[in-house]
Structure 1
């Protein structure tokens, strides 16, 4: 609903009290207001009339009225027709005297039409007095101010005086700007409103105002330029509704939503808003990221109350040291300070903490922090990249023992820049499907045949060249693009397996999957859909998961459920890189695994190290006891193949069998 409609709607109660049938038309002759007396007289409900041309004028007289309409719309004075032939909704004809009066609202012309179905004495008196009632209706609904062209107040209604605590004598002649807070924000919004009014534009929005006593209150304000009949800007009108309670509630909700309750600092979501606003205003600042080192070890040393003391005392020291800076808690033991201060001062925080130690149970807490300094716009140019750069710096500091605050080195800048480019190019590659799939054959040691191939993603970008999988996959996981890569690989692998199957080549295709993909509850549905669309039998698909995946899946029933559904369809699951992840065998009981892959780190040394030989033998025997197959990867020599065959390994994969190759090359090996 636009603001003119709002004004007419607000005037409806007044118009309905008018004892005469009346309507208001816009310059195109469309009805914008229709009162209750008109409904009764002509039988048309307001919903049938408003927004349409008047339906009760005789068709044969429309041309005559078109000429009359142009005269009415441009006339300064009222125009009266002694008789006009009209029709009711029931089809009854009636001759009705009408008074027309044109007027202007926000540079738009309207015509007030009053049907004089009253006595002759009244007709001589009535002209356009009812419009005073419209103003009365607005005054009873809104706080109202009239302002002259100099910005001085010429009139304030009772509602405005009530809310603002001004008296009629005191407010007349006061400046429009004096109604707003005198701080920079208040003056700025008043300037914006005034500029729009001076340009003949209407302004609408929520603004803060102040009472005569300097108390703050909030209003929903409409500011309207008023024109004379000669289209000359004469004055301005403001209509206001009090929304102070709404704003107070909003502020309370924002405090709950954006403030960390334990420390009183803003949270990560509010921090992002503040940073984005500073960036949009092109403000230079330093983004300082702090992490309390070995926090969980500290927690274990003290009782439950210690955690609360640590955070409150640490927060207090940050506030004391970084005065006039913005601070946030972004994780349980991680904080951010936005400051214009220099690097030497920021690093001095470590000395300050030593000089002002935190005590728990009358004992000094051995507190150590790691910090990363990232500058906008010198180092990074977005909130996301500021956070990523900070995480990279913190990880580097903590890997070196923690307890220091550092800024990005040239090497860090280069690595982050490269990573940023890869992220952008990966989006383009996924959109254009520029990724490629190679297949690495797996040799069955019992039959000597290639029975399975592992589908591996490869990416050669036209701008940045070849991106190695060990670079691509971590970035894809971090950005959430791993799901898109997974979908791409699944579709291509199933399509290739189906093509081989149609040729009579019964070869399985194995793909790698992440726990992130299986957290999508539609994963089963998606895989089934792709199998159906490509015509690939489910028995030809194998899904490889890591030990980290297995450990996380162990704690999530929904993932296990999806895996079992797919196993029932005929899909088999393989545990990849066995022995390099987490030492837990519980997931081998819970998950529907049919095969494990011994990691190449164990295979590479079995020719020379007796311990490696015994370890590999032990793994094979253990897995066989669970009725699962064993595949060894990273096999590069005939000697390794012979030893693995001797240990009863089922299959091998590695450069000795084949490098990753095109699908057409696979067929030559069969």
Structure 2
């Protein structure tokens, strides 16, 4: 209770009258004294209780009591009626007044202390507390004022509670308000979005209860600020459904949204398209030029893709360098337009750290409902179409094409005939020379597998190799190739031709537990030195670097050399290659063919050659088709090469004649593309 509150002037008048009236009327403690005179005795005490602390109450009560006691005793003596009983009555009234003053004072003190405690709790509460009556705010604690973005509670009082509710939540708040006033207690916190004075949205959990305020119904609202939690929750949700590098939706977001989009299409008879986009040779750029540059490249790619979609469409990053665009309510014409726009946008270079970087996309397109009725099928078919675009030269788009009956029949026939082909000796080997670029001298050959079916005719490797892998026949087929190639090497040696033989080895064959023993056995059976054998492995075996390193080391111990085939198109990186005891790197023909078409590609080829020199690898360029390409490779220090500029793959007899002609004149005659004007399909060197 507060001390020394000043008693108003008019109350001092009441106190004086309460003392003077009983004295002036001579009716103190007489039987005929009206009861109101006795009550006047307590009026000053009550006033003191409300305005003073306990000490002041006792002091002023003593003064008043002494005045009344002194006057009462004096009055009794004057009238001659003073008795012990009269004095006792005076003393009794004084004691009662003291007791009354102390009791009432304590009650008032406890009441005020309780009020102070309650006010402290409310004022210092970290929770929002508001009382509103007839939709007008009549009280708001400092926390509420602060959340509202105001400096003082005066700025809140009198305003409508609904002025602070976000429009999207206003109907919910009004309905809740009505239910509370109808005595429907809400024991649960409801989430609301509020807007403060600065226009910033706040997320609050609020609980409303009906109370009485000055005799009328009011509502007290208690709430807690959950804005930080909601923002954290949004961040977590964003991270769960978005790519951390580009900020694009990820595959989980796409799958969920695609399900909703398909449901809408089914009810509204609309169409949609999926564009599956893969960046050509991104991994090699990423590995040779650094992951930081690769990350920035992906960010810029995502920005370009976003420039070609509508607000309701979605660009999603699936992972790595793969993106999917979902075009809702669209048809094949618009899907084709978007694909062409994307291809055109990639003709401009990407500027990264001051360098111009060129990269191209391969795009596969699937349409709903033609190419699939569910998300998984549409994505799978768009992916298949994308690989079709890559097989057709990359940097283009392809719609998904359903395998027709004839294609299925041919595939089934090839699968069935493949198992018989080995026994029927339908497979043959052709050989393509490898030359020293500076001199043109043949330094070795590569064995290339061909299948000449008696009824179907020549079957391209791109068609039968996947069948061999899927049917599990790739290992016995690879073993046959190695056996036949070493037999031919020995036959040439007997004819006076000593030539290194390069043999392609599949990943399954390379990882087979009996592979090393089989190589030893074949060399031994042909009485052939290991120095004449080069095994060419694809970059895919680099996925398990520890296991691959062990196998390569065993081959080195035997004396067999190892080359990485199709370098730049798969899984290798500089750090990996540096740990492997390999002898040669073969630059993939896709790089060689683009040397003069793309400045970025020529820079990459130079980088590969320089890297090979630094790591002491022999460099072999594949797919050389003209003199310009050969001169570029020679000028930049490439050691060896092969391609149609020198010779196509030849049967063993023709290869033997070519080698003998070189021995007679000193070097191979460069055939050039004019002499071997073959179609694109004939250039496949698988």
Q: What TM-score results when the alignment is normalised by the length of structure 2?
A: 0.40
Point out the structure with max Rg over C-alpha.
2
Higher-RCO chain (CA-CA 8 Å, sequence separation at least 6): 2
Greater share of residues in helix: 2
